[in-house]
Amino acid sequence: MKSFQKQTACASIGLKLSNVEAGEALFTLPFNSNFTQQHGFMHAGIITTALDTACGYAAFSLMPEDAAVLSIEFKTNLLRPAIGERFLILGKVIKPGRNINFCEATATAIDAHGAETKVATMSASIMAVYDRAISD
């Protein structure tokens, strides 16, 4: 997907697109010791980068080709420390709209034994932008 390649932030943190369906996007984020906070967990802002990206792709999957997506706002809930070998980041549109898409996303840690733990959730409002400058 062309637009994903321009997202240098995603490449820099190692976020990889695994699957996109209508209204849903799944990404994988490996644990990366370059992006931790003071206790050695993945930084909440980096998990948020992944969650926001998953919401944006889920919303984009329902839009016409010429639309662009812009995050208006998101809230991240940090349920547990973000420790694990990798994280599954799943974004879903819970209410599509011509202008506003309400999305939710979850970050699930996978440990060395394959055990899964939900570590964070997001709710986000993603706007579709048509035929005008992004910066409006």
Among 28, 62, 63, 71, the residue binding a copy of itself under the rule CB under 8 A is 71
CB atoms within 10 A of CB 77: 11
72 lies in the binding site for a copy of itself (CB under 8 A): yes
* H helix intervals, the chain: 2-6, 8-13, 44-60
Q: The tokens of 11 are what?
A: 């490449």
Number of residues engaging a copy of itself in binding (CB under 8 A): 59
| Residue 114: CB minimum distance to a copy of itself, A | 19
> Site residues for a copy of itself, window 6-65 (CB under 8 A)?
6-12, 33-40, 42-46, 48-53, 56
131 lies in the binding site for a copy of itself (CB under 8 A): no
CB atoms within 10 A of CB 23: 17
Q: Which is nearer to a copy of itself, 66 or 136 (CB)?
A: 136
CA pair distance 57, 52, nearest whole angstrom: 9
Residue 12 and residue 43 in contact, taking contact as beta carbons nearer than 8 Å: no
| Residue 25: CB minimum distance to a copy of itself, A | 14
CA pair distance 53, 81, nearest whole angstrom: 20
Residues of this chain that interact with a copy of itself (CB under 8 A) are 3-4, 6-12, 33-40, 42-46, 48-53, 56, 68, 70-81, 83, 94-95, 97-100, 102, 104, 118, 121, 123, 125, 127, 134-136
